[in-house]
Structure 1
Amino acid sequence: MRLVICPGVHEPKLTDCFLAGLSEVWEDEYPRQNPQIVDRVKVFPAHKYPPFSALDILHFLCSQDLAGENLVFVSFSAGVAGAIGAAWMWQQIGGQVGAFFALDGWGVPLGGTFPIHRISHDSFTHWSSAILGSGGDSFYADPELAHLELWRSPQTAKGWHISHTAAGTETAAPTTAAKFLVHLLKQYGVQSVV
């Protein structure tokens, strides 16, 4: 299982902060029992190519020797638009998509034959984005925080993990964006975020 990070339009340093925040939570929640198990995380160079370009992301994936790999996409802002298209195209050329995470993908329709989860910086973005495809479990920050802060510091973004039961009822549990993401990444078979 490979983790593919698709940033938005911002400084690359923020993506480094995002990965450090996830790694911090990962080590707290799942101390590494075998230090040899480290997934190679692929980070799309959004500072060189447009993050909203599905074709550029697909070309990047094809250049990374990922044939036969099951990919989990974690995307942010404009990167959500490019990543969802790249995920669909990855499947069209025979690849596998294990799951898709959209952080603040407001206005981006989400759908596919793979699990999809939305993570939002506030409740308005969360509920209004659900109209375009809510996917599975989701998260929104409460209190709301700045758009870039969700990417910079997911470990401090407090809010609600929203789940739906088989009976159709909705439940909300307090957590952070990083804990929500780490929990689901582990569930989908990602072994590490470093």
Structure 2
Amino acid sequence: MNLVICPGYHDSQWTTDFCQGLLTPWTLTHPSPRLWVVPVPPALPFSPCHLLHWLKTQGLQPTTAPALAFIAFSAGVVGAMAAAQIWHRQGGGVQAFCALDGWGVPVGGGFPIHRLSHDFFTHWSSALLGTGSLNFYADPPVSHADLWQQPQGVGGWACDRRSSPNSSPQYLSAAQFLYQVLSPTVATL
């Protein structure tokens, strides 16, 4: 697994907390992922050009790099979504795109997309601008910051829009949701 973490505008400790909260349990059951954390600054979270340039400084080229999974938060969703689309059009593999609280950001592409939201309203209103088939919203609602800083402690509902009306959503943590959608061996929730 090759993860590109795209933070927004916030204290860098939030991203450190996210990575620890996500990766500590992950490495107990999965091989350790290769991780690239985009530095903000100098990269601008809303700029796909900055993100693509930074990936190239890390030795990654679309046609030779392994497939990447993008995990983006807040303003980082803006630049990461456009960068993932460009990367994909240039022949790069995009295993998945996970948008955490990318409210107001249109999403779409020829790769799996998943939205994670800190409450139901954000989940519902973000879906108007595009969504993946598997998505997550926190219940009870949490703060915008908590979704990023503590994915292992945020409970909520995984929603599969491909399911029949009689199917039940699954309750799990945001981190567990990310494990499931990023695991190449798990096809559905």
User: Could you tell me the TM-score, scaled by structure 2's length?
Assistant: 0.90
Q: Which consecutive segments of 4 or more residues in structure 1 shift more than 4 A? A: 166-170
Secondary structure in 1 matching 2:157:
strand
Match of 1:128 among 125, 128, 150: 125
2:22 corresponding residue in structure 1: 22
* Cα displacement (A) at 1:171: 3.5
CA distance in 1, matches of 2:73, 2:22: 14
1:52 corresponding residue in structure 2: 46
User: Could you tell me the TM-score, scaled by structure 1's length?
Assistant: 0.88
Question: For residues 91 and 123 of structure 1, do their structure 2 counterparts lie closer, same or farther at Cα, with a shift above 3 Å needed?
Answer: same
Tell me: higher relative CO, structure 1 or 2? Use CA pairs within 8 A at least 6 residues apart.
1
2:10 corresponding residue in structure 1: 10
CA distance in 2, matches of 1:176, 1:127: 19
CA contact (8 A) 2:133 2:162 kept: no
Match of 1:176 among 173, 177, 180: 173
Number of aligned positions between the proteins: 183
2:107 corresponding residue in structure 1: 110
* Cα displacement (A) at 1:83: 0.1
Structure 1: segments with no counterpart, 5+ residues = 190-194
Question: For residues 170 and 86 of structure 1, do their structure 2 counterparts lie closer, same or farther at Cα, with a shift above 3 Å needed?
Answer: farther
For the pair 1:77 / 2:74, whether they are aligned, the reply is yes
CA contact (8 A) 2:2 2:34 kept: yes
The one-letter code matched in structure 2 to 1:147 is H
For the pair 1:140 / 2:137, whether they are aligned, the reply is yes
CA contact (8 A) 2:26 2:32 kept: no
CA RMSD of aligned residues (A): 1.8
What's the CA shift string for 1:109-136, capped at 9, x where partnerless?
Answer: 0000000000000000000000101112
* Cα displacement (A) at 1:24: 2.8
Give the % identical residues. 47
CA distance in 1, matches of 2:156, 2:166: 19
The one-letter code matched in structure 2 to 1:65 is G
